[in-house]
Homo-oligomer: A and B are copies of this chain.
Amino acid sequence: MAMPATDTFATQAGNSYGPINSYATMAMAASGDACGLDIEAIRQHVPMRRCKHVAGQNIYHAGQPFHAIYLVHAGSYKICELADDGREQVSGFRMRGDLIGVESIGLKAYASDVIALEGSEAWELPYPAVLRACLHVPEMHARLTSALAAEIRSDRSWMLMLGTLAAERRVAAFLLDVASRYARLGYSAKHFILRMSRIDMASFLALKHETVSRALSHLHDMSYIDVQRREVRVLDVHGLRSMAGVGAALN
């Protein structure tokens, strides 16, 4: 039982010390994608256009009927679930290569609210064209289906995390997840900038932002990380992992 899959990003050490991801470098990642969707291949079947983006606004305009899904090109987006009575829950963050809006397939309106964090851009894929491509190109069908299935699996592993880990462990697991996502995109997994506020992190982790602050401070005190506002340096991956429970959540 000696640490299976213990090196989600330690094996990628080559790029673990790559450039810190800043808003600038985020926009120029390699175009090959780690998330199963190759932009060039899709473009052969579905007309895509780059989404003009205004920081802090929904990429889905409120009240508009559902007409497209989005493929994140740069930056990141937060996905929010809204209740009738005003409650709000961040259900995830999407980065380059992730799809946004697939859960609205089959609906007349959007299932969730999507908010672009600073400096984000996405490709807009008209939904009718996507459907047509799925029916005529088996490969597209397989891609969309496994993208949906992957979305479910990812949500489930967060349910596992939220249901079984205490506050501090959730924060550790979250940091490891962010790190491995950056690593997959070719950025450093040991030094990165969180693109979301403490409040967004807290909502996603089902905590209060003060609790997130305390947890981060404590992880800092234990020398697992070095954190200053949104800048994070991972000092002890092993320690973080044991804190999060080996293989906690994530992928």
Q: Which residues of A contact B (CB under 8 A)?
A: 4-5, 81-85, 87-89, 91, 102-107, 111-112, 134-135, 138, 141-142, 144-146, 148-153, 155-160, 162-165, 203-204, 206, 245-249
Alpha-carbon gap, A189 to B23, bound state (A): 52
How many copies make up the complex? 2
Residues of B within 8 A of A142 (CB): 106
Residues of B within 8 A of A152 (CB): 102-103, 111, 148, 151-152, 155
Can you name 13 extra interface pairs (CB under 8 A) apart from A83-B164, A91-B160, A141-B141? A81-B156, A85-B246, A85-B247, A89-B159, A89-B160, A102-B152, A103-B152, A105-B148, A106-B146, A106-B150, A134-B145, A148-B149, A163-B204
Residues of B within 8 A of A249 (CB): 83
Residues of B within 8 A of A135 (CB): 135, 138, 141
**Residue contact B164 to A89, C-beta cutoff 8 Å:** yes
Which residue on chain B has the smallest CB distance to residue A36? B106
Q: Which 6 residue pairs across A and B have the least CB separation, nearest first?
A: A106-B146, A148-B148, A103-B152, A84-B247, A163-B206, A81-B160
Set B5, B149, B162: member contacting A159, Cβ < 8 A: B162
Known contacts A138-B135, A149-B148; A159/B155 CB under 8 A: yes
Alpha-carbon gap, A234 to B232, bound state (A): 50
Shortest CB distance A151–B (Å): 5
Shortest CB distance A239–B (Å): 16
Known contacts A89-B164, A138-B135; A153/B83 CB under 8 A: no
Known contacts A103-B152, A111-B153, A141-B134; A84/B160 CB under 8 A: no
**Residue contact A164 to B88, C-beta cutoff 8 Å:** yes
**Residue contact B146 to A105, C-beta cutoff 8 Å:** yes
Which residue on chain B has the smallest CB distance to residue A206? B163
